[in-house]
Chain A
Amino acid sequence: MKVLVLLCGRDWHIVRVLRDAFGADLRAQDDFCEAVSADQARELAALHDRECGHPVVRALNVRGIEHDLPAYIFPYHEHFLVVVAEAASLGGFQTFSRELESWLAWADDNLPMPYQDGYYRIQVMNNRLLNAERALSKKTAQLERTLAEVRDANNIVALLERDRLTGLYTMAGLLHHAHVAAATAAVDEPFDVIMFAVQGLRQVKEAFGHKTGEELQRRVALFATGIDMQGEVLFARADADAFYAVASTRRAFAEALRDSLATYLADYPLAVRLRPVVAVCAGNAPGTELEEACNRARMAFDEARAGVDSVTYYSPDLVEQSLRRHELLDEVPEALAEGQFKLYLQSKVDMATGQVIGAEALIRWMHPTLGFVSPGDFIPLLEREGRIYDVDRYIWEQACKIQRARANAGKPLLPISVNVARGDFYEKDLAESLLDMVRRNGIGPEAIRLEVLERAYAQDSGELAQRLAQLREAGFVIEMDDFGTGESTLAMLSEMPIDVLKLDRGFVMNGLDDPRRRIVIESVVQMAHRLDILVIVEGVETREQERYLLEMGCRYAQGFLYAKPQPADYFLNL
């Protein structure tokens, strides 16, 4: 407790008397001691009364004081204000101080006391606060040091931003460094985001193992970064198979990349055909979100994989198309369940006699709202997405049912050729599934012929040959479709299990009057025959073509001259 003393007169020593009387409870401070007149004391008391709004708690009549004036005591914040009037004698004040002491004892019990054992307690609390602040400051400094260490560890961060396999940036690294480049180098010109990959990588991995595939990726990464002599292009590994490059539009890097990469891959020492797939989201305005541009490049890239050889450019149309196709794909399971896919058949004939020798099964999608959907709009996509198998199986099943109907009606055997996609050969139960189908429908495997695209033979041929041999063993006839469009060598014809060669329509359409082309066809046909392989020519539309072909030793054909693809019903009546 603090007592503020206003003295009247000049009796300074009262302060010391009071202090001795009340010990630690009374701290009469020199700077609070003022000598004032009795009237001033009364005025001050009244002023405090008014300003602080504190009532006079108790007025003490101090006996023995000259003039017998009262002392007023006010609560004043945590202090007490004592106004003592006209002090004179020590004896008088000792009496006064005993009164005051009894009053303070009353106050001890009745008034809230902010301090009990005084400053030491406050000091201890203050020390605790300071120690806490000290500990906090120390921790803050430690934290700052740790943060500085993290900032200094650039190498480690750089490692995290690098792809382990190729040493290119990861996606996170690319984004970070593109931002840094944009922020520091003031690159205010349009930029391209290029996405590229190697088509055939999957086959490499399957045929030669994962490590060989990784080696290919590493070398492609090294080669691509080597094209950029100025170090102006940022490269990143986008995902397991593809890369991104970010370059100024003025560099036209996409084309340069595609051309160099095509050459590089053509000479790559692996017996798998490798092609670059390059797509670009070109001419992005400065400030375009890189992630956005990367997404667009990826959309174009998805289209490029559908089979375009040159650089595929992103465009809003592309997105729309892509979106439409993907939506279509999502509807496939429902379309299968509802029978929206229809089997069409196109006859194959013996040109010499005009007799039908069989038919090829083709698919049509009769969409409930879009109407007729071209196979080109969904078949390649299904193949790429690895979802062709269900659709193919549906077609095979339909073909088997037709054959059963023909058999039940006692009709002679006319084989139906069905397409087997490259992806179907990855399905473990392919052979079992086909055999099961023919068995269930009470027909023989000779009723269904299997058409495999020539392109498929080029990829992972060893594995494919094995599966084909297995099917052939089971009794299926194997036809190589679209011969002449792919890169298969003539040597392959002798090595692969092939029964029928279907000569691509391109041979016929490009004009059979060209003697050189005729020589080629003639040679192929002769060689095939000597290998005991049947040849069917596709795309025959005129009698003239028919005549040429017969002259060249061809016998079987398929084309609009004989029949368009028709709903399967007609086949039942042949």
Chain B
Amino acid sequence: MDYGEEFQALADAAWAYERKRDEKLFEKISVRVQQIIRRDTRYNVDFLYTAFQLDDARIMCKYVVWLYELMVGVYKDLLLPKERALDSTLGSLDCIRRAAADVVAPEKQQRIFDLLERGEQSLRAYVAAGGAAAETAPAPRDAEVKEYLARLFARDTRGAMALVRSFVDRGIPIDDVYVDILAEAMRRVGELWHTAAITVDTEHYCTSITQTAMSQLYPDIFDAPRRGKTVLVACPGAELHEMPARMVADLFENHGWDSIYLGAAVPQEYLLASVRENNPDLVALSVTMPTFLIDCEQMVRAVKQEFPQVKVAVGGRAFTSTNEIWRKWPVDLFSENGRDLLSAADALVS
């Protein structure tokens, strides 16, 4: 993430404080592990910067809790107590706080301190409440999700592919297969990685197989009668999580829209050129990582400025980390999932 000299200096200074936290340990650990810690420090500053830029403290609060849960998994692997994870997370926040006092312009300092404070409070409240948030309502197709995940974790590639096909064959609408089964399964896979229950390669394996499984439904999806509407779908910034965006494009295709799918990490100029060329009815931007929300906002404004008549929708997991930040943007639609977005878009674009 590129955020100019000031926050770059903040990241460097925070990293210096990180090393000072336990100098003896830093001597012992390998260069590689040192690099990993440095990367993670920068990542913390990324989120702080995003929350700062978008003026949305919830982004920081959510992130701090998320970071803590990640550390819990790491410390569990190391057979170390949970408390160490809390210390580590709060220690990292403190490193940033001290660095900010050193390098950030005074007029910005207070807001940064506030954001860090809000993050710390959220974490303490979370830990005090006993960790994981209350269980949400059971997934509408919990049994299918579990069946699918079981095959993925058994590395039964063919079985997983065939199962997705069989969902459609046994009459589950493609929309529901996408949203209630595959998207939900991927959400759980992410959660399992986050809590160190599965490794990152398993997570990527699950993603790849799920995308391939979706592709076998294309003949059905593209077969739908056309309705003369066009949606353009893209991921802003450096967003590489493109499966949700593709799901959205597919769901629209399945309902007779034509989709122009630009994929992951689409530069703004490229997006605008494509809108110019294809004249879509709707531009849908999908964001998974909150750090790309800034890019998303810029894109929304750029599209609306040049093409006021084109409807713009945003969505994706990143927005759950915000206080409905999309309301501050000139968007026409926001939706939690592709299915809801589709019905809203159908109503909006007649």
Contact = CB atoms under 8 A, between A and B. Distances in A.
Interface stretch (B46-54, B201-209, B341-349): B201-209
Contacts of B208: 122-123, 126
A39 interface: no
A94 B226 CA distance: 62
Interface stretch (B15-23, B28-36, B120-128): B28-36
A141 B219 CA distance: 7
Contacts of A336: none
A450 to B, nearest CB: 76
Contacts, number: 87
B218 A137 contact: yes
A494 interface: no
B253 interface: yes
B28 A29 contact: no
Nearest to A30: B199
* Interface residues of A, dominant DSSP: helix
* Interface residues of B, dominant DSSP: helix
B264 interface: yes
A324 interface: no
Interface string B128-165: 00000000000000000000000000000000000000
A94 B33 contact: no
Contact of B199 (A22, A29, A94, A137): A29
A30 B193 CA distance: 13
A164 interface: no
Interface string A121-163: 0111011001101110110111011000000000000000000
Given A20-B33, A127-B263, A29 B211 contact: no
B240 interface: yes
Nearest to B218: A137
B226 A145 contact: yes
Interface string A419-445: 000000000000000000000000000
B77 interface: yes
Given A101-B30, A127-B264, A122 B204 contact: yes
Interface in B250-272: 250, 253, 259, 261, 263-264
A134 B215 contact: yes
B77 A13 contact: yes
A177 interface: no
A13 B240 contact: no
Nearest to B200: A119
B226 A127 contact: no
A21 interface: yes
A367 interface: no
Contacts of B259: 138
A87 to B, nearest CB: 14
Contacts of A133: 215, 218
B1 to A, nearest CB: 16
Contacts of B202: 29
B212 interface: yes
Contacts of A138: 218, 222, 253, 259
Nearest to A19: B77
Contacts of A25: 32
Interface string B239-255: 01010001001100100
A20 B77 CA distance: 10
A135 B208 CA distance: 18
Interface in B172-187: none
Interface of B: 28-30, 32-33, 35-36, 77-79, 199-202, 204, 207-208, 211-212, 215, 218-219, 221-223, 226, 240, 242, 246, 249-250, 253, 259, 261, 263-264
Given A20-B33, A23-B33, A138-B218, 4 more contacts: A21-B33, A27-B200, A127-B264, A137-B215
27 contacts: A13-B78, A13-B79, A19-B77, A22-B30, A29-B199, A30-B199, A98-B30, A119-B200, A119-B204, A122-B204, A122-B208, A123-B207, A123-B240, A126-B212, A127-B264, A130-B215, A130-B246, A131-B246, A131-B263, A133-B215, A134-B261, A135-B261, A137-B215, A137-B222, A141-B218, A141-B219, A145-B226
